[in-house]
Amino acid sequence: MFKNEKIVETKICKHCNLSFEITDKDLEFYEKISPVFKTPTSLPLSGEEFKIILPPDKGDWGGYKYLIPPPTLCPDCRQQRRLSFVNEDFFYRSNCDLCNKAIITQYRPNSVEKVYCRNCYFSDKWNQLDYWKKVDFSKSMFDQFFELFKKIPHQNLEIDAQVENCEYIHQAGSCKNCYFIRHADFCENCYFWYGFKTNKYCVDGFYNMNSENCYECIEIINCNNLFYSQNCNNCSFCSFVSDSEWCNNCFLSVWLKNKQYCYKNKQYTKEEYYNKIKQIDLWDNKQVENLRNELEELKKHSVFKYYHWINIENCNWDYLNNCKNCDTCFNMENVENAKYSYQVVLWWKDIMDIYQYGTNIQKSYDSSLIWENSYNILFNYLVLAWCNNLIYSMCNVSCSNCFLCTGLINKSYCILNKEYSKEQYEKLVPKIIEYMIDLWEWWEFFPAKYSVFWYNETTASLYFPLKKEVALKDWFNWSDYVPAKPSVSKIIDKENIKNLPNIKNIPDDIINWALTCEISWKMYLITRQELEFYRKHKLPIPKRHPDQRHLDRMNLRNPRKLFDRKCDKCWKDIKTTYSPDRLEIVYCEECYNMEMY
């Protein structure tokens, strides 16, 4: 909460029973984004506390603003509920239900009725409006909507905009020659990455932007030829570097600014530096593992600033770049006026309770996966592009003024996938809202019980891990479904993967073998493009499944949680994502700047 905010109410979360605060600025936001309908005065009188009567505009009937009241769940439980609808990491083999082409899909068997490949989904071979439902005022609106959602065809993976040679990317778009990347835009020749923009020739990373020729990097911006590094900006030709800026030709170092030719945080001449690193063989997996462990030990005794921010104004939490007025936000770039939002980048404004991720989104609330050029998005999952005034909807593209709709493309004034005139829509939607108010279905995101994904295959399970019995008790779904193992004849098992030869001696035939992860036992393949990348940059073949590598990178990041801690130099109270029991030396901003500059 910022200094200019006032607490107007303290509520108890109906899920976890913890208290949370509502401020005057929160109430202003809820009113600002509340929908307005020009409806006749004969509207039913139920739910009057949810309405504001607007004055006439130019002699016409002003209408009603349907107020969105404060939430009943705390910020964490709201986030957990939204994430329980998001499957980013679990995929299944299937066939397109229209052309019978072999596909991989995020939908496990029997979770929805039809799954189409991308070409069929965006073709004219079917009509989304054929699945419409008539509004039934004797049933739950959510029940009616999810009956529709399960029957209508779904795209196998969520891909938006133009892509080229990117058959296996998910929740991504505007990419070329990419494989198994998620939450990505404007990328080329990238593999096994998560959450990045405008990258080229990058493999295995987490939240990287505007970078090229990078490998196994976490939270980097504007970097080139960076390997096994974390929290770096504008660094080039470096390896095993952490929390550094504007550096080049540095190795195994932490907390560097505007440096070059540093090794283990010591300055060398160019000749001395190259003599040092030429003895290091990154082709060897064991040496790479030793260097990674050495970097982690080095970090434990290094100084860190209590946040990771660049060019921010009136913001709090962590990993914010070029942001203004962002409260309790994480992983944001170029965002203004945001609260309780995560992993949002590029020209967002006036948002609250948003998870992920696109560009140019405004005035939106309590939604997940909003992609590009959209506004007035309320209680939505997966808004692909160019949408506005969508309420309680899912998986729509280029739509406006739709309520309880799913799978629509270039449609307006629809309810449950049935088209209406503007006048009919403006008259019917308020009646639905008042009916939902009576059923206590209005004003918050869909209940978790309606998710077509099991809790243990959703992103919620990563950030809010639960045991099966707790998940089932806490409103969520669960499954012990295990997909059949792929049928392969050539396997490098868990024991033999430890003894993979030096990359110089790896034969081309390795792309025809299935490798077994040394941790999870999952089998995975090495693609030809991957192999070429490893050889070019003299890197070893990974010994772990891509999913395990993704988890390893997540575990190296600070948690999405603020801790009370004291600056290790001046003992000033600070709030930071570095917990007090960690060994790193953490400074407040003033002490850090004095030490660094």
As averages over each run of 10 residues, the pLDDT of the chain (597 residues) reads 85 96 96 84 56 64 83 96 95 95 93 95 95 96 98 93 88 91 92 90 93 96 96 96 96 95 96 92 86 93 88 90 93 93 90 89 95 93 93 96 97 98 94 93 95 95 94 90 80 83 87 92 91 94 93 91 94 93 91 84
- Shared domain for 233 and 294, answered yes or no, is yes
- Shared domain for 174 and 258, answered yes or no, is no
pLDDT attached to residue 58: 47
pLDDT attached to residue 286: 86
pLDDT attached to residue 1: 64
Tell me whether residue 19 is in a domain.
no
SS3 of 276, please? Answer: helix
pLDDT attached to residue 358: 76
- Shared domain for 546 and 584, answered yes or no, is no
- Shared domain for 288 and 232, answered yes or no, is yes
Tell me whether residue 463 is in a domain.
no
Tell me whether residue 521 is in a domain.
yes
Tell me whether residue 40 is in a domain.
no
C-beta of residue 377 within 8 angstroms of C-beta of residue 362: no
- Shared domain for 223 and 300, answered yes or no, is yes
- Shared domain for 231 and 264, answered yes or no, is yes
- Shared domain for 231 and 301, answered yes or no, is yes
* Token pair for 464: 């809010």
Q: How many domains does the chain have?
A: 4
- Shared domain for 511 and 534, answered yes or no, is yes
Tell me whether residue 440 is in a domain.
no
- Shared domain for 188 and 227, answered yes or no, is no
pTM greater than the 0.85 cutoff? yes
pLDDT attached to residue 59: 45
pLDDT attached to residue 61: 54
pLDDT attached to residue 51: 74
Taking the CA atoms of residue 371, residue 372, residue 377 and residue 380 in that order, the dihedral angle to the nearest 10 degrees is -20
Last residue of a domain, one of 176, 201, 226: 201
d(CA 342, CA 462): 14
Tell me whether residue 218 is in a domain.
yes
Tell me whether residue 450 is in a domain.
no
**φ, ψ dihedrals at 263, nearest 5°:** -135, 125
- Shared domain for 223 and 248, answered yes or no, is yes
Last residue of a domain, one of 305, 327, 347: 305
Q: Which domain holds residue 515?
A: 491-556
